[in-house]
């Protein structure tokens, strides 16, 4: 069930904000969404015409349900409901969960890291998707490493030179600190104009920076860059989530559900408890303390 369907019909009468309550909800692709922040003030401020690249799918979904995506909302969990989120993460089929589905967790890194730490007893890997509008501190990176977070830094040939320099700098910084750092490239098939050639040049550079997750742009056919031929779309009825018009820079990029994806957002399977310096007995005690 979609999280948005949990809102009462009577409340859907005008723009509103996301509820400030943490949830664990599986989406259409099979991703377990545990967003610590919903909405994206910084991303929408950068691209007011529709969010990143004018095609932010989360913004489109929020708009459809009358939610103001320009407001970032921290998602807290009341103590009496925490066990439900913990168990939903622990019992999900995947060995990882995602933070950053419909909002950038950099809006509040401290809150995001606190949630990852509290969920460490689930033995599931947190995968964070971010554009690093707000950089992590050195101390925060140490804490991310301690709970085996995988950070996907979102990049694209559609980004400005300054944005690429900043985001790749953060990608490399995390890698140097020993964090599992993934270059998540929003890719496109570009046309022949000077603008398109410049974007392709940047994309080609980004695709040399490994490890990579290749994430093709889902775009509407009314996008001005699509109409002009700068971005080329392909109809892909097999595409799950984000629309069926996809810009494919190569034909074999995976578009299906997460369970069958070879990338798994760059997450490796969780090591045994002993590798974390944490015994299973201590984990059970930790859970009991939280839920008592």
Domain boundaries, the chain: 15-269
Q: What is the per-residue pLDDT across 11-45, written as a single tens digit (0 to 9) for each? A: 445 589 999 999 999 999 999 999 999 999 999 99
In angstroms, the CA 193 to CA 64 distance is 33
Q: Is the sign of the CA dihedral 139, 141, 145, 147 positive or negative?
A: positive
Confidence of residue 83 (pLDDT cuts 50, 70, 90): very high
Cα dist from 197 to 181, 201, 204, 281, whole Å: 28, 6, 10, 57
In angstroms, the CA 155 to CA 121 distance is 31
Q: What is the per-residue pLDDT across 162-215, written as a single tens digit (0 to 9) for each? A: 999 999 999 999 999 999 999 999 999 999 999 999 999 999 999 999 999 999
Q: What does the pLDDT average to over 259-267?
A: 92
Cα dist from 44 to 30, 86, 110, 251, 290, whole Å: 26, 31, 22, 30, 36
Confidence of residue 80 (pLDDT cuts 50, 70, 90): confident
Provide the CB-side half-sphere exposure for 287 (13 A, CA): 16
In angstroms, the CA 170 to CA 109 distance is 14
Helix (H) or strand (E) holding 182: strand 180-187
Confidence of residue 291 (pLDDT cuts 50, 70, 90): very low
The reply to whether omega before 192 is within 30° of 0 (cis) is no
Structure token digits, residue 31? 């991703």
Q: In this model, does residue 277 exceed pLDDT 60?
A: no
Q: Taking the complete model, does pTM exceed 0.95, yes or no? A: no
For Cα atoms 158, 234, 263, give the angle at the middle one, nearest 5 degrees: 65
- 228-232 CB contacts, 8 Å cutoff, 24+ apart: 228/191, 228/193, 229/191, 229/192, 229/193, 229/196, 230/190, 230/191, 230/193, 230/195, 230/196, 230/199, 231/188, 231/189, 231/190, 231/191, 231/196, 232/188, 232/189, 232/190, 232/191
Q: Which CATH class is domain 15-269?
A: alpha beta
Instruction: Please give the pLDDT value at position 13.
Output: 55
Cα 155 versus chain centre, distance: 12
Confidence of residue 84 (pLDDT cuts 50, 70, 90): very high
Region of poorest pLDDT, from 7-21, 124-138, 151-165, 207-221: 7-21
Cα 193 versus chain centre, distance: 31
CB 234 within 8 A of CB 189: yes
Region of poorest pLDDT, from 151-165, 186-200, 244-258: 244-258
């Amino acid at each position: 069930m979609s999280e948005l369907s949990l809102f009462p019909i009577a409340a859907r009468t005008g723009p509103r904000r996301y509820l400030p309550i943490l949830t664990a909800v599986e989406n259409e692709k099979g991703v377990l969404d545990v967003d610590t922040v919903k909405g994206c003030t910084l991303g929408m401020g950068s691209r007011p015409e529709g969010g990143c690249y004018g095609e932010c799918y989360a913004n489109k979904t929020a708009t459809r349900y009358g939610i103001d995506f320009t407001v970032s909302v921290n998602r807290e969990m009341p103590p009496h409901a925490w066990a439900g989120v913990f168990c939903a993460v622990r019992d999900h089929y995947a060995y990882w969960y995602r933070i950053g589905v419909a909002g950038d967790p950099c809006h509040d890194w401290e809150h995001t890291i606190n949630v990852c730490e509290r969920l460490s007893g689930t033995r599931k890997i947190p995968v964070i998707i971010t554009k690093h509008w707000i950089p992590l501190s050195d101390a925060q990176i140490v804490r991310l490493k301690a709970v085996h977070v995988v950070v996907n830094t979102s990049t694209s040939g559609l980004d400005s030179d300054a944005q690429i320099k900043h985001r790749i700098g953060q990608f490399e910084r995390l890698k140097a600190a020993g964090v599992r750092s993934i270059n998540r490239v929003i890719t496109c098939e570009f046309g022949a104009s000077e603008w398109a050639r410049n974007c392709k040049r940047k994309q080609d550079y980004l695709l040399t920076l490994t490890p990579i997750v290749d994430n093709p742009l889902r775009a509407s056919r009314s996008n001005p860059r699509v109409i002009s031929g700068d971005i080329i779309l392909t109809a892909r009825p097999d595409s799950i989530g984000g629309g069926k018009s996809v810009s494919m820079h190569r034909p074999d990029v995976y578009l299906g559900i997460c369970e069958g994806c070879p990338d798994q957002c760059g997450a490796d399977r969780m090591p045994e408890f002993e590798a974390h310096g944490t015994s299973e007995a201590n984990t059970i005690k930790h859970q009991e303390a939280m839920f008592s």
